[in-house]
């Protein structure tokens, strides 16, 4: 089996060897899906995984815009349309200086499996720009978003490709993008998700990724007759996903003791309760400040510069910042400090060494494509509401989100349960996500 996986990866490397994050995402899927393909006659001779690894379309475009000093700036924009076998391309836009083809292709590839797991009819895509929103004024953000959309609008549509937010793209950016799309097309449609409540958005979409990550952790704990109640939790990041993971974990009786950003992390032994979280939300979403300011407001907490929180003691870890923020040493530290649940809010936050360490230790480990799928699932519910021209209540949407997260958990068990009863959620998520897309591709012929 190893030689089959190596031969596949060698071919992938010839075409994509200069894209390390993409190679990593493909390797993780190949390790679990190739043995499954070998065991299933229907996939033989179809080269199906190779077809899934190649984007259906990838566009890259110039984004010119004028800053507040009148200087003309140039950024690069992208949209990767990875797979549309089960529905229109769907996935976020990331604005961050590190954005490049490798990062977006890994995200788009993960998105295909994730969207399949949600049970909703959504294909996979991802896009963004190397634009850095840090320190930019509101007007600069608006002008950048408008320029970005003057090209992107040609490639998207409510039945073609429906982008949403990701790092650096929240409600404000979706608003500016939507305004320009509507002007260019003269259409009020559900072409983006994460919209404001008065213009087609869905209740619970802002909360959904973080909430879903906690619901998934709780489902994993239930398999061991346990729950989130009383658990000490490390959360990284302090953006959308981290904020709502902290809120839901606290509501379920856990104590969240850390948050972070690219400058370092804060540790609050008393826990980040609702009042402290409200302070973080204002700091990050309105003032757009640094997490270190938390310790000025709450001096019993400590700030550690330039480090991630993974060497602190905990029961549960929720990486909610960015890719590869947990490496092999971090995984060792987590395990030796008693961590026995990892539920990923971010996309691919654990590198392959960390993933292998979690699986070897047989802890409850959920890869992002399963545990953070609540965000895109609720985007799917926003699309449904737009098509129906209806708004569901908070309780209705949250109820559907819970049900979807439970279904994803069940699918992981179906394909990931081992003989000794241990659930390998990586294998479970990859195979369950693969089957639906692969079967649709086989039915649709070689296209
Ligand atoms: N927003 C959503 O609905 C979804 C987001 N995700 C993933 O969750 C993660 C976080 O995204 P959001 O919260 O939406 O973004 P955000 O822009 O609201 O927040 C990003 C957070 O990550 C931190 N961060 C970014 N780069 C970092 C670095 N190099 N080192 C340390 N911290 C860093 C930022 O300081 C910030 O706290 C990403 O991996 C994203 O792909 C996954 C599923 C859905
Ligand atoms: O809601 C969406 O369409 C995108 C969410 C996303 O980017 C993700 O799941 O990583």
pTM above 0.80, yes or no: yes
Q: Which residue has the tokens 């979706």?
A: 174
- In the numeric block, which tokens belong to residue 388? 């129906």
DSSP assigned state of 137: -
* 124-129 sheet: strands from edge to edge: 57-66, 72-83, 124-129, 89-95, 161-165
* Whether the predicted pLDDT of 316 surpasses 90: yes
Catalytic residue among 90, 105, 114, 126: 126
For residues 204 and 206, give the distance between their C-alpha atoms in angstroms, rounded to a whole number. Answer: 6
Q: Does residue 165 contact residue 196 with C-beta atoms inside 8 Å?
A: no
Ligand 2 atom nearest the C-alpha of 209 is 9
For residues 261 and 85, give the distance between their C-alpha atoms in angstroms, rounded to a whole number. Answer: 37
Q: What is the mean pLDDT of residues 205-213?
A: 98
CA distances from 285 to 168, 175, 181 (A): 11, 15, 24
State pLDDT tens for residues 385-394: 999 999 999 9
* Whether the predicted pLDDT of 37 surpasses 90: yes
Q: Which residues pair with 266 in a beta bridge?
A: 259, 303
Q: Is 272 helix (H, G, I), strand (E, B) or coil?
A: coil
Q: What is the mean pLDDT of residues 360-389?
A: 98
Same fold, 55-188 and 208-366: yes
State pLDDT tens for residues 79-138: 999 999 999 999 999 999 999 999 999 999 999 999 999 999 999 999 999 999 999 999
Q: How many CB atoms lie within 10 A of CB 44?
A: 10
pLDDT score of 1: 84
Does residue 364's CB lie within 6 angstroms of at least one atom of ligand 1?
no
Of the CATH numbers 3.30.56.10, 3.50.50.60, 3.40.640.10, 3.40.50.720, which one belongs to the domain with range 208-366? 3.40.50.720
Residue with CA at minimum distance from ligand 1 atom 2: 166
Q: How many CB atoms lie within 10 A of CB 305?
A: 8
Ligand 1 atom nearest the C-alpha of 375 is 3
Which pairs count as long-range contacts for 441-445, CB under 8 Å and 24+ apart, including other chains?
441/48, 441/51, 441/52, 441/85, 442/42, 442/43, 442/46, 442/48, 444/85
- Beta strands 89-95; 72-83: pairing state: unpaired
Confidence of residue 167 (pLDDT cuts 50, 70, 90): very high
For residues 42 and 255, give the distance between their C-alpha atoms in angstroms, rounded to a whole number. Answer: 48
Confidence of residue 170 (pLDDT cuts 50, 70, 90): very high
Does 126 qualify as catalytic in the annotation? Answer: yes
- CATH for 55-188? 3.40.50.10860
DSSP assigned state of 286: I
* Whether the predicted pLDDT of 264 surpasses 90: yes
Give the closest ligand to the alpha carbon of residue 238. Answer: 1
Burial of 185 (0-12, 13-18, 19+ CB in 10 A): middle
Residue with CA at minimum distance from ligand 1 atom 28: 262
What DSSP string runs through 213-231?
Answer: HHHHHHHHHHTTT--STT-
Give the closest ligand to the alpha carbon of residue 110. Answer: 2
Task: Mention every residue, 6+ apart, whose C-beta is less than 8 A from residue 267.
Answer: 257, 258, 301, 302, 304, 309, 312
Burial of 357 (0-12, 13-18, 19+ CB in 10 A): buried
What DSSP string runs through 44-55?
Answer: TTS-HHHHHHS-
- In the numeric block, which tokens belong to residue 425? 């959620």
Taking the centre of ligand 2 as the mean of its atom positions, its distance from the CA of residue 171, in whole angstroms, is 13
Taking the centre of ligand 2 as the mean of its atom positions, its distance from the CA of residue 94, in whole angstroms, is 10
For residues 170 and 334, give the distance between their C-alpha atoms in angstroms, rounded to a whole number. Answer: 31
Residue with CA at minimum distance from ligand 1 atom 31: 262
Residue boundaries of the structural domains of the chain = 55-188, 208-366
Confidence of residue 63 (pLDDT cuts 50, 70, 90): very high
- In the numeric block, which tokens belong to residue 231? 């658990």
Mean pLDDT of the chain: 98
Q: What is the mean pLDDT of residues 268-277?
A: 98
Q: Which residues pair with 187 in a beta bridge?
A: none
Taking the centre of ligand 2 as the mean of its atom positions, its distance from the CA of residue 106, in whole angstroms, is 13
* Whether the predicted pLDDT of 78 surpasses 90: yes
Ligand 1 atom nearest the C-alpha of 261 is 35
Q: What is the mean pLDDT of residues 249-257?
A: 98
* Whether the predicted pLDDT of 190 surpasses 90: yes
Taking the centre of ligand 2 as the mean of its atom positions, its distance from the CA of residue 110, in whole angstroms, is 10
């Amino acid at each position: 089996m190893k030689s089959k996986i190596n031969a596949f990866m060698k071919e992938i490397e010839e075409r994509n060897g200069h894209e390390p994050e993409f190679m990593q995402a493909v390797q993780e899927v190949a390790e679990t899906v190739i043995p499954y393909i070998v065991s299933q006659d229907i996939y033989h001779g179809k080269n199906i995984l190779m077809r899934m690894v190649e984007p259906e379309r990838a566009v890259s475009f110039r984004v010119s815009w004028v800053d507040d000093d009148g200087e003309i700036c140039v950024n690069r924009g992208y949209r990767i349309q990875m797979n549309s076998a089960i529905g229109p391309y769907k996935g976020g836009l990331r604005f961050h200086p590190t954005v490049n083809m490798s990062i977006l292709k890994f995200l788009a590839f993960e998105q295909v499996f994730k969207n399949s797991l949600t049970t909703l009819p959504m294909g996979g895509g991802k896009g963004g720009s190397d634009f850095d929103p840090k320190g930019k004024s509101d007007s600069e953000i608006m002008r950048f978003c408008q320029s970005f959309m003057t090209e992107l609008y040609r490639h998207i549509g409510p039945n073609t490709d429906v982008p949403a937010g990701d790092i650096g793209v929240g409600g404000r950016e979706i608003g500016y993008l939507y305004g320009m799309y509507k002007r260019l097309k003269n259409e009020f449609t559900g072409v983006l998700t994460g919209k404001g409540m008065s213009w087609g958005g869905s209740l619970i979409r802002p909360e959904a990724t973080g909430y879903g990550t906690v619901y998934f952790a709780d489902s994993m704990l239930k398999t061991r007759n346990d729950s989130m109640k009383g658990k000490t939790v490390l959360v990284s990041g302090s953006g959308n996903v981290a904020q709502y993971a902290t809120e839901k974990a606290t509501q379920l009786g856990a104590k969240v003791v850390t948050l972070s950003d690219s400058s370092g992390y804060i540790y609050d032994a008393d826990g980040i309760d609702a009042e402290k979280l409200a302070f973080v939300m204002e700091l990050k979403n309105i003032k757009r400040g640094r997490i270190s300011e938390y310790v000025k407001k709450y001096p019993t907490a400590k700030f550690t510069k330039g480090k991630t929180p993974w060497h602190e003691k905990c029961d549960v870890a929720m990486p909610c910042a960015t890719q590869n923020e947990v490496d092999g040493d971090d995984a060792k530290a987590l395990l030796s400090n008693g961590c026995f649940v990892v539920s990923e809010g971010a996309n691919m936050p654990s590198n392959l060494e960390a993933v292998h360490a979690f699986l070897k230790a047989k802890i409850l480990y959920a890869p992002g494509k399963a545990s953070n799928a609540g965000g895109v699932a609720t985007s799917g519910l926003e699309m449904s509401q737009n098509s129906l021209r209806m708004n569901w209540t908070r309780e209705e949407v949250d109820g559907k989100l819970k049900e979807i997260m439970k279904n994803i958990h069940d699918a992981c068990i179906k394909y990931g349960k081992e003989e000794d009863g241990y659930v390998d959620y990586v294998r479970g998520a990859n195979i369950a996500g693969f089957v639906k897309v692969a079967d649709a591709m086989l039915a649709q012929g070689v296209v």
